[in-house]
Amino acid sequence: MIGWQIPLGTGRGAGTRGAMIKLDILSDPICPWCFIGKTLLFNALDARPDHPFVIEWHPFQLNPDMPPEGMDRRRYLEAKFGGKQEAVAAYARVAEAAEAAGLDIDFGSIPRTPNTLDAHRLIHWAGIEERQTPVASALFAAFFLEGRDIGDHDVLADIADSAGMDAATIHRLLGSTADAADIRERDRHARDRGVTGVPTFIIANTHVVPGAQQPDLWIKLIDEINGQLMTG
């Protein structure tokens, strides 16, 4: 047993006895480890449909200083890791983990690394309509599996439309500065709280689970939390 005592929420949720446990996910839709971590988590949730988690997604930009138009991905990776060979070595481990998670990512087909401020704004607006997870999932798929530029407003509006949101409204909002300052402030707040990388998962605003964890760990946590709910 992991031995955590989880503060129990109130109200109705997906889990045992109807109690809800908040699971906050800090991520960036261009972060491969976030895509891997999300996939592994949802494999566990599929295995435990009685899980108690209510999920909310939060912004964390890997590259907050990225130019608004983004940049060539090869140039970005070589600058980030200190050269071509270093970038190849760093992504070899990522590619191995992605394949193990069942993700067929062709990193070579991704032409640009975008600024993700607008993608995070879309995730925020999706939360208002209770569509965060479908939108976050679609952003990961668009970038990593389809090689689409998720900094492009037309692409983001199309993703919104596919999740049942109003594409015209989203396009109009993206053309403004709506909620941009709020996203930057939430990003800064996460860093002030000590978050240095993503994915970061926070259970009940108390327990931090960093990184892309295997489904077995999540299943163990879910079983322990449900056990507490049964006896609490």
Question: Do 186 and 199 sit in the same domain of this protein?
Answer: no
Please tell me the pTM assigned to this model: 0.92
The number of domains in the chain is 3
200, β-bridge pairs: 26, 210
Q: What is the CATH number of the domain that holds 200?
A: 3.40.30.10
Cβ neighbours of residue 111 closer than 8 Å, sequence gap 6 or more:
72, 73, 147, 149
Per residue of the chain (232 residues), give pLDDT as tens: 233 444 444 333 344 446 799 999 999 999 999 999 999 999 999 999 999 999 999 999 999 999 999 999 999 999 999 999 999 999 999 999 999 999 999 898 999 999 999 999 999 999 999 999 999 999 999 999 999 999 999 999 999 999 999 999 999 999 999 999 999 999 999 999 999 999 999 999 999 999 999 999 999 999 999 999 888 6
pLDDT at 18: 62
Question: Do 125 and 181 sit in the same domain of this protein?
Answer: yes
Per-residue DSSP letter, 115: P
Is there a contact between 20 and 9 (Cβ–Cβ < 8 Å)? Answer: yes
Question: Alpha helix locations (H) across 28-70?
Answer: 32-47
The domain of 141 spans 115-190
CA-to-CA distance for 67 and 77, rounded, in angstroms?
Answer: 15
pLDDT at 231: 82
CA-to-CA distance for 61 and 198, rounded, in angstroms?
Answer: 9
